[in-house]
A and B are shown apart, each in its own frame.
Chain A
Amino acid sequence: MSNHSASHRGDTLIEIKNLKKYFPVKRGVLVERHVGDVKAVDDISFKVKKGETIGLVGESGCGKTTTGRVITRLETATAGEVSFEGRDILSLEGKELRHLRRELQIVFQDPYSSLNPRMAAGNIVSFPLVTHNLYPGTQRDKRVGELMELVGLTRDQAKWYPHEFAAGERQRIVLATALASNPKFVFCDEPVSALDVSAQAQVLNLLRDIKAQLDITIMVVAHNLCVVEYLSDRVVVMYLGKIVEMAETDDLYQRPLHPYTQALRTAVPTVEVGKPATEIVLQGEIPSPLNPPKGCRFHTRCQAKIGQVCEGIEPKLVDVGNGHYAACHLVTGPSDEEMRAAGRVPDETRAAIAMAKRGEG
């Protein structure tokens, strides 16, 4: 495949700046009153590098899926910027937007509901080609055949209908459809959570193979940290609409800094047995994104929190070296201005944080 753009692997493909997505909550029958906002994504910034697989992980309501949906223009942003190859994409409309959709494709969670049961697999896969008028004439069938083989199916299976495929194979068709228009970016929303273990492994391997074969950038969203780590070069951990930690996958595994990441890691059930039991059982529920806690959003469940510091001052996402970012006062204390703004004496606060850290160790 030819690549006309002058950009290289590692360059920024997508840049997300101060992105916010609020869903308004309305009450009333005749006169609708705006009573609040579900802050699904609340002021996040990060970059997606060209050619990487970036993983977004977190529990329900953390905003991981919403982030992906805003980037792929399935949702409109409340505020902030998203640029794709240096071009602002949130304001695109009409023809330009349609053009953009060719570059940004999506794989949804459930391969049962994302395939039209009345269409043969080949027709489903060629749909984007028809829409975008790509590979006209006889080339189209050839392209469909190629795509089927790319995802590990046979050319003949293009004639089959969705019900004739097993769950894992259906997800292959969804992936073939997403890849049909040669996109630069594919957003996979929980690509394996609806699948059984054996089918899950097939799809995970396939995603890795495709990534190695094609010049493509993938963003994968999943609640399972193992799945995200298996696929991604870099991982973004989200909690209640905020990024709490972001790092290269290996770095994050060896050195999880944020207490939430640490808890998430021990909460993922893995088949390994006989490991020392350092389980962290988080107490309480995930707070409502309608009214998230003040200060650090994780403080209500955090076992390492420093009383008023974490309750009063919101931690910023800070680079701690090697592109490893964390938003936690225990990792990087708040600045003097932030402490003063929260009505606290900097020296005393710093002492309190130091004490809490020692207690930790």
Chain B
Amino acid sequence: MREMRTDGPILEVKNLSTYFIYRDRTVKAVDDVSFRVHTGEIFAIAGESGAGKSVIALSTLRLVPQPGKIMGGEILYWGQDLLRMSEAELRKIRGGRISMIFQNPMTSLDPVFPIGEQIAETVRFHKGIEKKGAWGRAVEMLQLVNMPDPERRADAYPYELSGGMQQRTMIAIGLSCEPDLIIADNPTTALDVTIQMQFLSLCRQIRSELGTAFVYITHDLGVVAKLCDRVGVMYAGRIVEEGDTVQVLTAAAHPYTVGLIRAVPKLGDRRSRLVPIEGKQPDLSSLPPGCPFAPRCPMAKEVCRKGEIPAKPVGDGHYARCLFADRVMEESKKSYREIGHV
């Protein structure tokens, strides 16, 4: 196994902006986003659809489709800027040292090859291992992801597997070259809850056994609560709050985070009414000045609609882009003490 470095962040995204440029408008899908991920850490990027979560994932490996363009910023992988690397250098990292798991396993796997072959192909390309050895490695990987009967299953075609097994195969491909970072883009949306549970515990197992770090993209704060160490909450292309998962979920400092938590039903709590977030998501091609959440925010004031809102530290490694972050946090803490959630 490759020697693991433990110093410094494994991934540091600095001021990343990715825009989609059309003839008549520019959609700012990701706007000035910064975050860090350390070895063995599971970092969540959470938010609703259209917030720019997946574009961050694609930008990290320079896979943004046309007409998307990375406008600026740095993506440092062990201090090396992936945005300034040649395509050939990047190809070695992509799939080898950083791997990606997509949302829908059925469309990510090639339907005409057995899954063992698809894992072996990755190993042959990145590790230069000959055919037989690569096949052995494939079976080993399937075993690692708890695939039942791995020798036999390596010969199976994707359509012969259930959704959960397909997603395990994707992880097996992702893990086959011993990456130190896995970017998982909504990996469990297509899965049933009990199978999702297996997937989450597999991620935890991989992290603790191999020290792999994850960037875990999800729309489900429940998954964040169950799996992730830290979370960045995205809204309209920006990270509006970032911090330790427990901190963010028990003492949310941004009104959007509070809104997300209040909008989901809790088990065993039928009495309290859900509080939906009013209004709709802003058009990312013509964002209003100031805080992008201001039009939907229950506590927005005139100052919120002017100028950039800086990220304000509210705790140890806990930031929120809100002028009233302290007040929001106090209220969150209070309601957490009273009713058990924000």
Which chain A residues have a beta carbon within 8 Å of chain B's beta carbons? 59-60, 166, 168, 196-202, 204-205, 208, 223-227, 229-230, 249-250, 253-254, 263-274, 279, 281-286, 301
Contacts and interface: CB of A to CB of B under 8 A. Distances in A.
A60 B276 CA distance: 28
Contacts of A254: 268
A253 B270 CA distance: 11
Contacts of A279: 197, 201
B261 A198 contact: no
Contacts of A269: 193, 196, 220, 222-223, 225-226
B21 interface: no
Q: Quick one: which of B48, B223, B224, B245 has the most chain A CB within 10 A? A: B48
B194 A264 contact: yes
B118 to A, nearest CB: 20
A273 B245 contact: yes
Contacts of A272: 225, 249, 266, 340-341
B196 A267 contact: yes
Contacts of A227: 265
Interface of B: 48-49, 148, 162, 164-165, 192-198, 201, 219-226, 245-246, 249-250, 259-268, 270, 273-277, 280, 340-342
Contact of B197 (A199, A229, A281): A281
Nearest to A268: B193
14 contacts: A59-B194, A196-B49, A197-B277, A198-B263, A201-B276, A201-B277, A205-B274, A227-B265, A253-B267, A270-B267, A271-B264, A271-B341, A285-B162, A285-B164
B198 A283 contact: yes
A267 B276 contact: no
Contacts of A202: 276
B270 A204 contact: no
A360 B172 CA distance: 35
A134 to B, nearest CB: 32
Contact of A282 (B194, B220, B266, B276): B194
Contacts of A230: 265, 270, 274
Contacts of B274: 201, 204-205, 230
Given A263-B194, A267-B194, 8 more contacts: A197-B264, A208-B273, A229-B268, A269-B226, A273-B225, A273-B249, A282-B198, A285-B164
Nearest to B252: A271
A248 to B, nearest CB: 11
B56 to A, nearest CB: 18
Q: Quick one: which of B196, B265, B266, B340 has the most chain A CB within 10 A? A: B265
A282 B194 CA distance: 6
Contacts, number: 128
Contact of B222 (A229, A270, A284): A270
A166 B280 CA distance: 7
B270 A271 contact: no
Given A196-B48, A272-B225, A274-B246, A201 B198 contact: no
Contact of B264 (A223, A226, A250): A226
Contacts of A263: 194
Given A196-B219, A269-B222, A223 B193 contact: yes
Nearest to A271: B221
Contact of A250 (B193, B270, B276): B270
A354 B225 CA distance: 37
A285 B222 CA distance: 22
B194 A273 contact: no
Contacts of B250: 273-274
A271 B267 contact: no
A60 B192 contact: yes
A225 B47 CA distance: 21
Nearest to B220: A269
Contacts of A250: 270
A249 B197 CA distance: 23
Contacts of B222: 268-271
A224 to B, nearest CB: 8
Contact of B193 (A59, A273, A274, A285): A59
Contacts of A265: 267
Nearest to A280: B197
B280 A285 contact: no
Contacts of B246: 273-274
Contacts of A270: 222, 225, 264, 266-267
Given A197-B260, A265-B267, A269-B222, A223 B276 contact: no
A159 to B, nearest CB: 19
Contacts of B148: 284
A229 B194 contact: no
B18 to A, nearest CB: 21
Contacts of A196: 48-49, 219
A198 B259 CA distance: 8
Contacts of B224: 271
A168 B260 CA distance: 15
Contacts of A266: 197
Contacts of A197: 48, 219, 221, 260, 263-264, 277
A225 B194 CA distance: 12
B279 to A, nearest CB: 9
B225 A271 contact: yes
A285 B246 CA distance: 31
B164 A198 contact: no
Contact of A229 (B260, B265, B276): B265
Contacts of A168: 276
A205 B267 contact: no
A198 B265 CA distance: 11
A227 B269 CA distance: 11
Contact of B268 (A200, A253, A271): A253
B270 A201 contact: no
A264 B245 contact: no
Contacts of B164: 285
A230 B265 CA distance: 6
B193 A200 contact: no
Q: Quick one: which of B193, B222, B225 has the most chain A CB within 10 A? A: B193
A340 to B, nearest CB: 34
